[in-house]
Amino acid sequence: MSRHVLVPIDGAGQSYAGLEYCFTSFPNATLTALHVVDPSYDHYTSVGESDPPEKRAEERGERFLERATDLADDHGHEIRTELRTGRPHTEILSVASEEDVDHLVMGSHGQSPITSPFLGRVSEAVVRRSPVSTTIVPEAPTAIRERDLPGRVLVAVDGSEQAEAAAAYAIETFPDASHTLLNVVNLGFDHDHVDVEGTYLDEIRTAHETRAEEILESAAAVAAERGGDVETATAYGTPAAEIVDYADDEGYDQIVMGSHGRSLAARLLIGSVAERVARDSPRTVTLVRGEPETA
């Protein structure tokens, strides 16, 4: 269960959607809203301005944080605020490391020239380097308010310790939600259109499906240890695309998964399954770091 959640605020709607998500998902946690003044970024200069850019940027940041405080007051939630100056992703990561933060919640497209389906430049940098579990919120504040969170939670599992940590996180954080564990079987060929009966590909498919059953059973056991009653499902195809499509097609409200997969390559390479899901999903995605604690 998250105790101290950091929410970077940049004035964009998605950053306030991150706060809306926190009010519902972490009602008992300490919340800190952070705005980082980037000295190299001043798009608000107008003719006749006498104040230096740094002062204008700080004043804007204070207004953004005041709005965050007002929003928290409307929800009956106390919130801390912090204003820093520097490179946004560097300062966000510094606060997360220095101030006993155990969760980050970010809007995905704030203050960025990169548009959907890619993450914004700041949130993408944070996702890649975050020392703590991170939630990406791509929806507008009104959409988050209208969504009956936690709702239906899809937990993607691949047999890794972090995937099982994601299952534990989902049950412990959202005990009243509906949970489904999903494993994606990547056969390397089109499962629906290739007849493999009696061929060596049939053996490959059987081995993959057996492994999928083992992965789901193990993750379900982790959930059961925490009192969770979960459903399980299997999909076929490329993992990132199938996770996003399955969640969208079946009407899930959010996705929870480990921040990286089983292999060393998946931990090192940008463009991992977790990062691609965070980029492409139209729904909130939580990337869990760490290993499941003993229930």
From residue 92, alpha-carbon distances to 47, 191, 230, 234 in Å are: 32, 43, 35, 36
Q: How far apart are CA 75 and CA 72, in angstroms?
A: 5
The DSSP-derived string for 106-170 is EESSTT-S--TTSPPHHHHHHHHH-SSEEEEE-S-HHHHHHS-SS-EEEEE--SSHHHHHHHHHH
Q: How far apart are CA 45 and CA 265, in angstroms?
A: 45
Q: What's the confidence (pLDDT) of residue 116?
A: 38
Q: What's the confidence (pLDDT) of residue 76?
A: 94
H or E element that contains 248: helix 239-249
Q: What's the confidence (pLDDT) of residue 32?
A: 97
Residue 108: other Cβ atoms inside 10 A: 29
Q: What's the confidence (pLDDT) of residue 263?
A: 46
Residuewise pLDDT in 10s, the chain (295 residues): 679 999 999 988 888 999 999 999 999 999 999 999 988 765 555 545 566 778 888 999 999 999 999 999 999 999 999 999 999 999 999 999 999 999 999 988 644 433 433 456 788 888 888 999 999 999 999 999 999 999 999 999 999 999 999 999 999 999 999 999 999 998 765 655 455 565 656 667 778 789 999 999 999 999 999 999 999 999 999 999 999 999 999 999 999 999 875 444 444 443 488 989 998 999 999 999 876 666 5
Cα 113 to chain centroid distance, Å, stands at 21
Domain ranges of the chain: 4-146, 152-288
Q: How far apart are CA 128 and CA 99, in angstroms?
A: 19
Report yes or no: 151 and 178 within 8 Å, Cβ to Cβ. yes
Q: How far apart are CA 258 and CA 177, in angstroms?
A: 19
Cα 130 to chain centroid distance, Å, stands at 11
Residue 9: other Cβ atoms inside 10 A: 25
Tokens 């899930």 map to which residue?
A: 252
What fold, for 4-146? Rossmann fold (3.40.50)
Q: What's the confidence (pLDDT) of residue 199?
A: 62
Q: What's the confidence (pLDDT) of residue 267?
A: 45
Asked if the bond preceding 150 is cis, omega within 30° of 0, the reply is: yes
Q: Does this chain's domain 4-146 share its CATH topology with 152-288?
A: yes
Q: Is the CATH number of domain 152-288 3.30.70.260?
A: no
Q: How far apart are CA 50 and CA 54, in angstroms?
A: 12
